[in-house]
Each structure stands twice: as C-alpha cells, then as structure tokens.
Homo-oligomer: A and B are copies of this chain.
C-alpha cells in the first residue's frame, strides 16, 4: 500500500492510452485518450506526458495502441514500427528505449496470436513495477528529509513524471505522509514551467506548502541558509553517476555545493544506463527556439533572434551527494555496473 495515493498519470483501458494532459495544468485537469500511435508520438513530443518513468510506461502502452489501432500488414511488424517511431520522439530519456526494448523482447515469446495479451501483460507489469519502485525510492528518499525541512526542487518529479508515485518530489510527499512538516521551494523551470505548473499543482493537491521562484533566484535562496536540501530527478544516469536531467540541474548542483546544501537525485534504477561510462556520452536533446522566445503565443524576443535551448544538462557525479533508487541510498563515488 502506497503511503500516498498515486496520480493516474498514464493508464491503459479499453484499447486507449489515457494520460493526464500535463500541458493543460494547472488551469485544467483533463484525461486525454490516445487511440493512434501518431497521437501517442505527438503527446510525447508535445510534453502532454513527460518525465522519464512516465515516458517508459506511455511508450509500453503505445505498443498496445498500435495493436488496437489496427491497420494492414504483419502484426509484429506493426508493433516494431510503432516502437521505432515512439523511441525517436525523445532521445535523452533512457526509460523510453528501455521500456520499448523490454516490450519487444516480450513480443518475441509465444505465438503471434498471443501478441496482444503478452504485450498487455508486460506493459501492466512495467506500470506495476514503476508504482512499486516509486513506493520504495520515495521511502528511501524520505529518510534524507527531516521534520521542518525546506526542500528546493527543479522541474517536476512528482506523480506526474511517473506511473503516479513520483521520484524526487515523491520523497517529499512520503516524508509529509510520515507526518513530518516539510515545505517545497519549486524552481519554475523555464522554458516550460513544469515547476510552476506541475510541481506547485501537486504540492497544492497534497497540502504541502510550496513557494515558486525563478531559476535566477536559486543562488540567493540557497545562500540564505533557508534550504535544507535539493532534490531532483534524472532522465539518464551514466555508470559513473553523472546525471542528465532537466536543463538547470547542473547550475543548481554547483550552487548547492557552494552553499553547503546536500544535493540528491531520486530516480528508478531503470534510469541508470550502465552502458554509458560517463555524462559526456549522453546525447542531449536540443528543442525549438519558440519554447524560449515565445510565451503563450506572444513573442518575448524580437523576431529573427535565435535561442540556445538544450532540454537537459549533465551534472558530474562528484556534485551529487546521493543517488536514491528503489534499491536504496547510494553515496558518491558511484559505480553502476551490470544489468539494471
């Protein structure tokens, strides 16, 4: 039994992939039904569903959509083709490729007539494992949070980034569920404002006090002595513990170290890509200029001006005081080897 009720971030029923449309929050809470692989790819690309663990689950269920969608040709080919298309939507999130790979391996077992049932079982297992991993990793993470702590966080790492239980922000909710008084400082997280929109929304839903700040204010906040720890998630972790996460994470880690504030990463072990020796080998997705130089349809910069818009950055392992997975609290130096 989870310590707190997971959100229905990504679910599958009646041949449909149902997601909370995260682009509409906090103004509107709406469940979006995706019935074609195109719609699944678009939803991922447009960040209607985002967060490494949630992407893995959405990708897995996306293959069930490929089956229920119907269409010509060989069923296995259709599933393989859907996996290729979905995998190409977001290059940095390792969970997406990991979940799709796991689904394809499952698809090779048994007869093609069982394919739908086999894949459905596998996708449900991925969701169930994600919820169990969230429960475990947020419990481990909560041990790093004391009564009265203020936690600074970046982007959204609550239930919305996963099957519903969350990673880093989930650890704060687990501490709150354990009865500790906690508060959250949420970086607004430009350009897409996942902190202001999603993290603040989740905190408000769970009655955890939350204060939003622009990324530029994090340095003065950290140096004020009012922050006990920084908690962030991860999109991919290299074997040496280098962490790729939402752009802005590296800056926070450097500022936290200078301020003497511990910096923690909470992520499922499926985020660890032990085939990648260090962060220099992690591909970084660069996104379009408009995310930076337009806001709600309004140009914030003169036309013709371009933008530098990497979606992620890489934090070197030595700036990360602990990496928390469902297996426990790992301390620097890290050595993640072997299969996940």
Residues of A in contact with B (beta carbons under 8 Å apart) = 26-27, 154, 185, 187-191, 193, 196-197, 200-201, 203-204, 210-221, 223, 246-251, 254-255, 258, 284, 292-293, 295-296, 298-302, 304-310, 313-314
State whether B247 touches A255 (Cβ < 8 A). no
Closest to A193 in B: B300
Q: A219-B250, A220-B247, A254-B255 are in contact. Are A305 and B204 (CB under 8 A)?
A: yes
State whether A258 touches B254 (Cβ < 8 A). yes
Q: A190-B190, A212-B293, A254-B258 are in contact. List 20 more A-B contacts (CB 8 A).
A: A26-B301, A154-B216, A187-B216, A188-B292, A188-B301, A190-B214, A190-B215, A190-B216, A200-B301, A201-B301, A203-B305, A211-B307, A212-B306, A217-B247, A220-B250, A220-B284, A220-B313, A251-B251, A251-B255, A296-B298
Closest to A221 in B: B308
State whether B190 touches A188 (Cβ < 8 A). yes
How far in angstroms is the closest Cβ of chain B from A128? Answer: 30
Number of copies: 2
**Which of B218, B305, B309 contacts A210 (CB under 8 A)?**
B305
How far in angstroms is the closest Cβ of chain B from A104? Answer: 33
Within the assembled complex, what's the spacing in Å between the Cα atoms of A151 and B181?
44
**Which of B27, B190, B196, B300 contacts A197 (CB under 8 A)?**
B300
Return chain B residues, CB-CB under 8 Å to A295: 295-296
Can you pick out 8 interface pairs between chain A and chain B where the beta carbons lie within 8 Å of each other? A185-B308, A189-B216, A210-B305, A211-B306, A216-B251, A217-B247, A220-B250, A223-B250
Within the assembled complex, what's the spacing in Å between the Cα atoms of A154 and B189?
17
State whether A188 touches B309 (Cβ < 8 A). no
**Which of B27, B211, B217, B254 contacts A219 (CB under 8 A)?**
B254
State whether A215 touches B212 (Cβ < 8 A). no
Within the assembled complex, what's the spacing in Å between the Cα atoms of A314 and B223?
10
**Which of B213, B218, B223, B251 contacts A292 (CB under 8 A)?**
B213
**Which of B216, B246, B296, B305 contacts A247 (CB under 8 A)?**
B216
Return chain B residues, CB-CB under 8 Å to A221: 308
Closest to A297 in B: B296
